Amino acid sequence: MSSDQNHGGEPGPGDDGVREGEDLAALLERLLAKAPGKTQKDLATEAGISYPTLNAWMNRTRGTSRVDPEKLRAMVDVFRRWGVRTAPREFFAAVGRPVPGPSQDEREAKLLRLYRQLPEARQRALVQDAEAMLQVSRTI
């Protein structure tokens, strides 16, 4: 679970916050400057983004309006692991979109991806747990 769920994408104390008019390239450049010794290549690798794609965003040769929300969240997580304070809303604002919560389709797709990675016995256990949760939620 990512920590942005704990604070709704709001930066913590001392964060610079969203800078008006800052695009993704400017945001990434600013945040990379706060991560000494880290490079675009490090960010791409750790966030699961191809380096050519990230480099095209940085050079503004590829549009960013359709960047997968999970890629934006992945970059937030990487910067946070590096000790750089940032928030999902900075990334979503930089690509011109409001910060969404995971959509129903995104949640279902994520659950299915996780389910498919489990061994069969764990898949069965997960289904049993889900059925139990459903029964409990019906009594509440």
Domain ranges of the chain: 4-94, 104-139
Q: Which two tokens stand for residue 95?
A: 């690509």
State phi, psi for 86 to the nearest 5 degrees: -160, 170
pTM for the model stands at: 0.60
Q: Tens of pLDDT along the chain (140 residues)?
A: 343 333 344 444 334 454 667 899 999 999 999 999 999 999 999 999 999 999 999 999 998 888 888 899 999 999 999 999 998 889 999 998 877 766 677 778 888 999 999 999 999 999 999 999 999 888 87
Burial of 8 (0-12, 13-18, 19+ CB in 10 A): exposed
pLDDT at position 10: 40
Task: Say if domain 4-94 classifies as CATH 3.40.50.300.
Answer: no
